[in-house]
């Protein structure tokens, strides 16, 4: 078990890092790397990145306030190596998805991801998991085209 003070310090440092990253994205990265909407009825390409960065900023500030005011008691019981190994697994999965999308496409990649996440979280009814993965993937692909006219790979 780790010291709760070090867990709180780690969470405060993470909140500061997330706040800085969100501010960087909101005020420099997104405005300088997205184009304006092409017509009045289009959604600006910056809309979803700005929405996401704004949400990260809000949640990181909430985390910072909660930790600084001690409104929430730290319950972390994971050691540094356990957290690091989880981060490595998530980074590896992200890189695998990044490379798989252009090679095999969105629908097969998302079906595989949904099934693997379902198995990793302990869901064992294979037919429900498979049906859910296929239905989810096709729905997202269809919705992306119908709502945003974005053709996923």
Determine the Cα–Cα distance for residues 139 and 133; give it in Å rounded to an integer: 10
Are 11 and 72 found together in one domain? yes
Q: For 59-89, what is each residue's pLDDT tens digit?
A: 999 999 988 887 666 555 666 677 777 778 8
Determine the pLDDT at residue 91. 86
Q: Are residues 26 and 63 in the same domain?
A: yes
* Domains: count for the chain: 2
In a shared domain, residues 114 and 103: yes
**Which of 45, 77, 109 delimits the end of a domain?**
77
DSSP state of 35: P
Instruction: Write down the pLDDT at residue 72.
Output: 62
pLDDT at site 1: 45
Examine the fold and report which residue of 11, 45, 77 is the final residue of a domain before the chain moves on: 77
The domain boundary residue, chosen from 21, 51, 77: 77
Q: What is the pLDDT of residues 5-37, one digit of tens each?
A: 777 788 888 899 999 999 999 999 999 998 887
For residues 119 and 152, state if they share a domain: yes
| Summary count for the chain: helices (H), strands (E) | 6, 0
Global pTM reads 0.57
| 60 and 120 part of one domain | no
| Chain segment 97-113, per-residue pLDDT in tens | 999 999 999 999 999 99
Q: For the chain, what is the radius of gyration of the CA atoms? A: 20
Do 84 and 152 lie in a common domain? yes
* Alpha carbons 37 and 45: distance in angstroms, whole number: 7
Q: Which residues contact 19 (CB under 8 A, 6 or more apart)?
A: 57, 60, 61, 64
Higher pLDDT, 41 or 101: 101
Under a CB-based contact definition with an 8 Å cutoff, are residues 58 and 6 in contact? Answer: no
Same domain membership, residue 148 and residue 125: yes
| 135 and 153 assigned to the same domain | yes
Q: Are 18 and 56 in contact (CB under 8 A)?
A: yes
Instruction: Report the chain's mean pLDDT, rounded to a whole number.
Output: 86
Give residue 142's domain range: 80-153
- What's the mean pLDDT in 126-147? 92
Residue 133 has pLDDT above 60, yes or no: yes
Strand (E) or helix (H) holding 13: helix 4-24
- CA distance readout (Å), 129 to 79, 115, 125: 32, 6, 6
Query: Are both 51 and 71 inside the same structural domain?
Result: yes
Q: For position 119, what pLDDT does the model report?
A: 85
């Amino acid at each position: 078990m780790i010291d709760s003070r070090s867990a709180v310090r780690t969470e405060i440092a993470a909140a500061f890092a997330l706040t800085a990253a969100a501010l960087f994205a909101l005020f420099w990265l997104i405005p300088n790397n997205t184009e304006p909407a092409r017509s009045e009825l289009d959604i600006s390409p910056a809309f979803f990145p700005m929405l996401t960065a704004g949400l990260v900023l809000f949640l990181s500030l909430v985390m910072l306030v909660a930790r600084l005011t001690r409104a929430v008691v730290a319950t972390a019981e994971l050691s540094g190596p356990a957290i690091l190994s989880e981060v490595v697994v998530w980074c590896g999965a992200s890189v695998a998805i990044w490379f798989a999308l252009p090679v095999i496409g969105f629908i097969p990649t998302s079906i595989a991801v949904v099934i693997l996440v379902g198995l990793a979280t302990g869901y064992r009814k294979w037919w429900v998991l498979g049906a859910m993965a296929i239905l989810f993937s096709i729905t997202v692909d269809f919705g992306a085209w119908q709502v945003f006219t974005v053709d996923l790979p």
